[in-house]
Amino acid sequence: AKNRRSQSESTVQWLLLVRSDSMRTFLSTLVCCVLLLHGCIKPQPENIATPDGAKRFLKLRGYDLTPDSFFEACTARDDASVDAFLKAGIDPNARQPATGRTALIAAAARGDLKIVEVLLRGGADVNVKDSAGSTALFHALEARYDQVADLLIAQKGLDVNARGKNS
């Protein structure tokens, strides 16, 4: 009877452990889902290596493959979507009609190092000037975003002698 009782106790303890592990797994999953829905966790694109995969990823994120949506993602500092736009074939040097700024110029002007890095990897031209004749480097230096300026200066092909319209 004693052996049977210890076996029963072992079975109960094992069932409690299994229940506890599955409950922990469930709760962990639930917490992750809640954080994901509230934007605390940024899902990383797993299969956007192809243009079609990037387009699907952008649709899921609520973006259209247009320059306006591209600028919106850059302004939102959504680096995963900016990368997807570039992989989907958006022109990295597209300009905002009102200012003539490219996404690189706008990101440099607000000191957004991560977006500047993504845009440079995606082929953005460091020598493009906005309507006022200023480059991304000029805007970064003017606003004293030293890390952004250092990154831009390190780019091959940078025209360090570029001058604005008023020079």
- Residues 130-162: tens digit of each pLDDT: 999 999 999 999 999 999 999 999 999 999 787
Closest by Cα among 46, 40, 54, 123 to 85:
54
pLDDT for 95: 97
Residue 105: half-sphere exposure toward Cβ, Cα within 13 Å: 19
Task: Tell me what pLDDT residue 22 has.
Answer: 62
Q: State the pTM of this model.
A: 0.70
Burial of 18 (0-12, 13-18, 19+ CB in 10 A): exposed
pLDDT < 70 regions, the chain: 1-48, 163-167
CB 136 within 8 A of CB 104: yes
User: What integer pLDDT is reported at residue 166 of this predicted model?
Assistant: 54
